[in-house]
Structure 1
């Protein structure tokens, strides 16, 4: 009886393994890529900001890590992604310059910030912006999947979901961060401030709209308060406008506007009480 049980167990196990293998149909799905992207992202962040991290040595390490990402995540036969590193690395000083402006915007906009070092090390909004800017340059270069994995890594850590395809100008500020969603085709100009729970999304989700501008444009010096939702590729929030908390917007707003979500208050009265 014991031998039969062992034999049955082996046969059952072989059947399960065979069926699982039959349904593993994605030849390029290697989760090692996800782990390598996280390592690359961390190393990149430290290289740009940590004063004790040697830049020259780390750039060599980053290039090696990047080659591994190409092997795992660039599936074209001729591996055109191998050429991306050379054009990407020269952009890092400019990205760092933009991020330093973002960090200063946090200091200027948030009265709770005690130092700029606190912004770099403790503000989830800044971290999300940093990884977005680093991923965006790879997105522009056309490296498949890796920029998305970078911003999703930041999303898991911060609650801020910025698609690497979004276009974001200088001195960008996200306060608190949790629940912020910025879509792939969103355009955000300079000196924009947004708060937790803000969504810059699309009105429609049809796959046929993949190549169209589905997400709104936010012009210079706009403030968008908590939980506001702004939808649509033709929606433009004009410069110097203020969008109040919980506002729901699907059409354009002129420059210098103030938009508030108005709450209706009704006081219940007991029956037969005048």
Structure 2
């Protein structure tokens, strides 16, 4: 082909791809609204790491006692500016009009900042739980700096907070950033208590309506998933509770699949490679050879 023929072929496809109402594209909507930026959300998460873990992800000066408050103020102001804009884009992304979303996004950003101390507290319990359960971990600092579980849990706790504040789209993007980086997939809707730990972590999947109590430990490859879906009259899945409830002090070993809205009683141990679709009472041991109370 000569250049003219190539451009002619390109133009044919320009016309096809620029037409939004062709029947073969009926499942791809045309999007003409402000959209959240993955790059900006990555900046937000990096700022949050500086705020929650001073000195680890910024400069040494930021962690010195005489200058910490100054840098903390700078970081929080930067966070507000970035977050307010992304929340605004998220709100516009989900609604027909977004004329009133500027003030709402500002209020949500401030409210989120007010929740950061509690997120930091929860993460401090998670770090301690990992240290207590992993003899390979030499210090709290090593866990903060190196362990993928902390990155995944940080992203989920931030996303869960934003979801509870009514922010659309952005919470899912935040957890998917961690999913891509760590191989740990935790939905922002999952409710997770204190002292939560994931050992190794690769392949862990936690569904939207899962409820996890305090002092729960998961190993790599664990799935807290749905067994099946309830469909509406149009054949679409309903968003109803469908993932497991793990009570306090539960341990689930590698590659176990716990499926459906079942309850794993307090203090139970679920062995590796188990496929579990029924509730078990407190202090159970479920192994490949059977279930023992």
TM-score (norm 2): 0.83
Q: Distance in 2 between matches of 1:26 and 1:144?
A: 19
Q: Which structure 2 residues correspond to residues 75-224 of structure 1 after superposition, within 5 A?
A: 75=92, 76=95, 77=98, 78-79=100-101, 80-206=104-230, 208=232, 209-224=237-252
Q: Which residue of 1 aligns with 2:259?
A: 231
Per-residue CA deviation, residues 107-135 of structure 1 (Å, 9 max, x unaligned), is 10101101110100111112111111111
Q: For structure 1, list consecutive stretches of 5 or more residues without a partner in the other structure.
A: 264-274
Residue 9 of structure 2 is aligned to residue 39 of structure 1: no
Q: 1:62 aligns with which of 71, 79, 82?
A: 79
Partner of 1:50: 54
- Count of aligned pairs: 259
Point out where structure 2 has 5 or more consecutive residues left out of the alignment. Answer: 21-27, 63-70
Post-superposition Cα deviations, 1:163-219, rounded to whole Å, max 9, x if no partner, equal: 000000000010000000000000000000110000000011455453311100000
1:17 aligns with 2:35: no
Helix, strand or coil: the match of 2:18?
A: helix
Matched, 1:260 2:257: no
Shift of 1:68: 2.4
Q: What is the alpha-carbon root mean square deviation over aligned residues?
A: 2.0
Residue 32 of structure 1 deviates from its aligned partner by 6.0
Determine whether 1:247 maps to 2:281: no
Assess if the C-alpha contact under 8 Å between 1:43 and 1:58 holds in 2. yes
Distance in structure 1 (CA, Å) of the matches to 2:30 and 2:76: 33
Secondary structure of the corresponding residue to residue 121 of structure 1: helix
Q: Is the 8 A contact 1:48 1:55 kept in 2?
A: no
Pairing 1:27–2:22 present: no
User: Which residue of structure 1 aligns with residue 68 of structure 2?
Assistant: none
The structure number with the bigger radius of gyration is 1
What is the TM-score when the length of structure 1 is the normalising length? 0.88
